[in-house]
Amino acid sequence: MAALIRHGLFANAFKSTPIIVRNKVSVNKAKEFPRDRRLMEIKARLNSVTKSLGARGFLRPQRAYEPTKDTSERINKICASQAISSGDDVKLEDPHLRFKLLVACEEEFQHCVPSSLLHTIENIGDLKQFYRTPVDSATPYEALANMQLPENLHVQQEYHRFHPDTDTLFNGKTAFPKSSTIVTGLKYKKKYPGHYQGNPFLDEQLKI
Statement: residue 122 has pLDDT above 80: yes
Does residue 169 lie within any of the structural domains? yes
Structurally, how many domains does the chain consist of? Answer: 2
CB atoms near residue 128 (< 10 Å): 21
Based on the fold, state whether residues 77 and 126 are members of the same structural domain.
yes
Does residue 127 lie within any of the structural domains? yes
Mean pLDDT over the full length of the chain: 76
Does residue 19 lie within any of the structural domains? no
Pairwise CA distance, residues 16 & 9, whole Å: 11
| Burial group, residue 130, by CB count within 10 angstroms (0-12, 13-18, 19+) | buried
Statement: residue 131 has pLDDT above 90: yes
Residues 6+ apart with CB under 8 A from 165: 172, 193
**DSSP 8-state symbol, 198:** P
CATH at residue 75:
1.10.1200.10
Render pLDDT for 46-80 as a digit per residue (tens, 0 to 9).
Answer: 787 777 666 655 555 667 889 989 999 999 999 99
Statement: residue 26 has pLDDT above 60: no
Does residue 144 lie within any of the structural domains? no
* 3 state DSSP class of 72: helix
Render pLDDT for 139-163 as a digit per residue (tens, 0 to 9).
Answer: 777 788 788 888 888 887 777 777 8
Residue 6 host element (H or E) = helix 2-32
Residue that is last in its domain, among 132, 147, 172:
132
Torsion-angle region of residue 165: left (phi > 0), alpha (psi -120 to 50) or beta?
Answer: alpha
How many helices and strands (H and E) does the chain possess? Answer: 7, 0
Does residue 182 lie within any of the structural domains? yes
Residue that is last in its domain, among 132, 147, 167:
132
Q: Supply the pLDDT for residue 25.
A: 43
Based on the fold, state whether residues 124 and 178 are members of the same structural domain.
no
Based on the fold, state whether residues 165 and 122 are members of the same structural domain.
no
Taking residues 168-196, report their average pLDDT. Answer: 80
Based on the fold, state whether residues 127 and 74 are members of the same structural domain.
yes
Q: Which amino acid is at 66?
A: E
Taking residues 10-23, report their average pLDDT. Answer: 42
* 3 state DSSP class of 55: helix
Based on the fold, state whether residues 74 and 113 are members of the same structural domain.
yes
Does residue 25 lie within any of the structural domains? no
Phi, psi dihedrals of residue 199, rounded to the nearest 5°:
-85, 110
The residue segments making up the domain with residue 172 are 159-198
Q: Supply the pLDDT for residue 207.
A: 66
Closest C-alpha among 202, 194, 197, 201 to residue 173 = 197
Taking residues 4-25, report their average pLDDT. Answer: 43
Does residue 105 lie within any of the structural domains? yes
**Which of 31-35, 74-78, 108-112, 171-175 is predicted least confidently?**
31-35
Does residue 37 lie within any of the structural domains? no
Pairwise CA distance, residues 48 & 41, whole Å: 11
Q: Supply the pLDDT for residue 21.
A: 39
Q: Supply the pLDDT for residue 20.
A: 39
